[in-house]
Chain A
């Protein structure tokens, strides 16, 4: 049979028509649409076995419990630990994207000297030379850790100075420390037993202290109730996120919180609303009211509201003694629902200080806030995992990033009970990085190793047999067979909770009404966040939504 041109055309037409009735075109259409969703430049998630590990966040002093999902050896998701005794399953907004930080464009992986690439041996030689020439200062932003012991010992062995920078929440407890003689780090707030909380600008619902602690408490006892079990009175010039949700918002004039505190003190004492007889401020009620920009009747009403639903505690954002003195009048020192004293198993540290000009060199640990610039003429060695820009440090030394460092987390600021957590390094530490403790041990090998110090700390907790360990379930320390078993639980993301506060032994005496302190620099919603950069997803909060202001000087 001869194959004609007509046969070819008929065959082609038939095949074209027939193919429509086969799965081929539909399969091709489907495949094309799938291919077009997967261009080579579209990032693909890493695949591999998924494991979930418990750990603790190291990005601020709160040490929130975290559940980290790991895939192919990388963290791919972070969530809270539902029954965690401190954080109750909550994290701050930024914590949910913290696992992206290690790839932030500002990540530091190169030693820099005066802006130029350098090396670890050169940095070591420079610090060793500085130590030989004069005293040095070692500044620690998170005292009480195992690494802190290494830093402190190094400074002591070289006749240097070990200095600490306390966070704003610990700093706010400084007046009580001065009046009682107890270190601020040993003090906390017994929020769980308070029924009225008067906050002078403290962002209680916006990341203050341990984020989950107060928010969960407020949600259970106050949210949406016209006559709540827990009354939150927010005294602040602007309607902040906390003020918006408070039981009562008092819009005081900017910078006059001390005047309002003085007015409240006068009403509390003169109208016998409290047992205390004084001391009293020099300012009269009328003068204070004019200064604060509030009617006297409103101040009187506020004073009555403060005492009618006790126990009441006053919380300040900046540790102004003139405001903190209200707690002395209210009898909120060393009483349930007030300022409490923790049990003393943890090492305690003193007041904040900063390096002075007399030091030959200053070493800043990675925990020191990026914007802290020591007033020194000497060389500055600055450890950091991310470059926040505009560094005045002579040496910029890359330190491990998020989840890349074995560290421990002492008691969270504001906590009424002592706590202890170990954050193990879930990721391998990049070889380009060193912690300050590792760096100093290369100069002086006799210094304590962090791992061994953590081990010793666990032994100490086991020996005193106090408190409980939470690692999925709560178990008293006394029921552990050995320190090693207890340490194992802590290294798997457990948390140690100390004994109840020793309230009876805390007393503050106040002979005269204290003067106000200089107002602290204004803070924003990222103030508690230690890294100088934000996770890129933070842009959702202030660029794609108006729920937040863009933070100044902290790139996402």
Chain B
């Protein structure tokens, strides 16, 4: 069966703790920030933004918006512009795959991505001496000069596939495939599941009236859904995704 892995991120539950960012980086062997790295020049496949209603004093409200690759299903912008075929939409999982070995570092995909969810390795990946012993053996380290992004912890998907194969099954048990950010979220704000399964809780959550997707109007059909009961958060989320560097107010 063809799966369509995706998430529903409940913004009302996100406390902005950043556990998803650290767990993602540790799982995927993302190096610590280089001395001059910023949100745009560093590598943060999962990045939490702060949303504010722009008011001061007691009227001020804040919320947090985690943004990773949206795993666009339709006319995936990064796939269509890559001259190297270094990005492809995996037909069996719906995961937008990035192959650093093919990437020549032109960064067309970064320009094309409407969600600013792709990052370029401006520096050689570096850890303090000896710390390479703490790297995850399931994920190779990407070198300077290539683009990377969230691939829904594909190494964990492979592990789940291997486990299923060892048990003589063709399909994975979804309990064996949980991305690091989902596992790390202390409030359970990030739910992961198979959107192709109509009975999956994530599919049902994605269809709730409070659910929405970022920049839905451009028709890329992202598989990362969001959820909030607060109208102001929903109003700001789109604008923050489109223009992350600008302060967005209701």
B contact face: mostly helix, strand, loop, or mixed? loop
B23's partner among A45, A96, A249 (CB-CB below 8 A) is A96
B89 at the interface (CB under 8 A from A): no
Mask for A72-91, Cβ within 8 A of B = 1, else 0? 10111111100000000111
The answer to whether A104 touches B50 (Cβ under 8 A) is: no
Mask for B51-94, Cβ within 8 A of A = 1, else 0? 00000011011111000000000000000000000000000000
The distance in angstroms between the C-alpha atoms of A72 and B132, with both chains bound, is 12
The answer to whether B10 touches A223 (Cβ under 8 A) is: yes
The distance in angstroms between the C-alpha atoms of A545 and B119, with both chains bound, is 13
The residues of A that contact B137 with a CB separation of less than 8 Å are: 45-48, 50, 71-72, 76
B42's partner among A46, A206, A218, A543 (CB-CB below 8 A) is A543
Name the residue among A30, A75, A90, A104 with the largest chain B CB count within 10 angstroms.
Answer: A90
The answer to whether A43 touches B37 (Cβ under 8 A) is: no
Mask for A245-262, Cβ within 8 A of B = 1, else 0? 100010100000000000
CB distance from B242 to the nearest CB of A (A): 18
The residues of B that contact A215 with a CB separation of less than 8 Å are: 15, 186-187
The distance in angstroms between the C-alpha atoms of A228 and B152, with both chains bound, is 33
A277 at the interface (CB under 8 A from B): no
A216 at the interface (CB under 8 A from B): yes
Q: Given A42-B124, A45-B137, is A97 in contact with B22 using a C-beta cutoff of 8 Å? A: yes
CB distance from A279 to the nearest CB of B (A): 31
B189's partner among A50, A97, A99, A219 (CB-CB below 8 A) is A219
The answer to whether A103 touches B22 (Cβ under 8 A) is: no
A446 at the interface (CB under 8 A from B): no
The residues of B that contact A206 with a CB separation of less than 8 Å are: 15, 17
Closest to A46 in B: B133
A37's partner among B27, B132, B142 (CB-CB below 8 A) is B142
The residues of B that contact A241 with a CB separation of less than 8 Å are: 15-17
The residues of B that contact A69 with a CB separation of less than 8 Å are: 136
B22's partner among A36, A50, A93 (CB-CB below 8 A) is A93
The distance in angstroms between the C-alpha atoms of A89 and B29, with both chains bound, is 22
CB distance from B44 to the nearest CB of A (A): 5
| Size class of the contact patch on chain A | 35 or more
The distance in angstroms between the C-alpha atoms of A296 and B193, with both chains bound, is 49
Number of B interface residues in the complex (CB < 8 A): 68
B187's partner among A33, A44, A216, A540 (CB-CB below 8 A) is A216
CB distance from A400 to the nearest CB of B (A): 16
The answer to whether A205 touches B21 (Cβ under 8 A) is: no
CB distance from A547 to the nearest CB of B (A): 5
A539's partner among B26, B33, B47, B101 (CB-CB below 8 A) is B33
B199 at the interface (CB under 8 A from A): no
B141 at the interface (CB under 8 A from A): yes
Mask for A195-220, Cβ within 8 A of B = 1, else 0? 00000000001110001100110110
B248 at the interface (CB under 8 A from A): no
The answer to whether A45 touches B139 (Cβ under 8 A) is: yes
CB distance from A423 to the nearest CB of B (A): 18
B131 at the interface (CB under 8 A from A): yes
Closest to A105 in B: B128
Closest to A106 in B: B128
Closest to B21 in A: A540
A3 at the interface (CB under 8 A from B): no
The residues of B that contact A223 with a CB separation of less than 8 Å are: 10, 12-13, 187, 189
The answer to whether B22 touches A540 (Cβ under 8 A) is: yes
CB distance from A507 to the nearest CB of B (A): 35
A244's partner among B16, B33, B124, B184 (CB-CB below 8 A) is B16
The answer to whether A544 touches B228 (Cβ under 8 A) is: no
The answer to whether B133 touches A103 (Cβ under 8 A) is: yes
B186's partner among A42, A46, A212, A239 (CB-CB below 8 A) is A212
The distance in angstroms between the C-alpha atoms of A105 and B131, with both chains bound, is 10
The distance in angstroms between the C-alpha atoms of A239 and B134, with both chains bound, is 36
The answer to whether B21 touches A545 (Cβ under 8 A) is: yes
Please provide the 5 A-B residue pairs with the shortest distance between their CB atoms, ordered closest to farther. A224-B12, A536-B32, A43-B132, A544-B42, A90-B186
Write 27 A-B pairs (CB below 8 A) sorted by A numbering: A37-B146, A38-B143, A43-B135, A44-B135, A45-B132, A74-B133, A77-B26, A93-B19, A96-B184, A100-B127, A103-B128, A103-B133, A205-B187, A216-B187, A219-B187, A239-B60, A536-B131, A537-B30, A539-B32, A541-B21, A543-B37, A544-B33, A544-B37, A544-B42, A544-B47, A545-B18, A547-B16
Q: A37-B142, A90-B19, A93-B23 are in contact. List 10 more A-B contacts (CB 8 A).
A: A33-B101, A96-B22, A97-B22, A100-B127, A206-B15, A241-B17, A535-B22, A540-B42, A541-B18, A545-B49
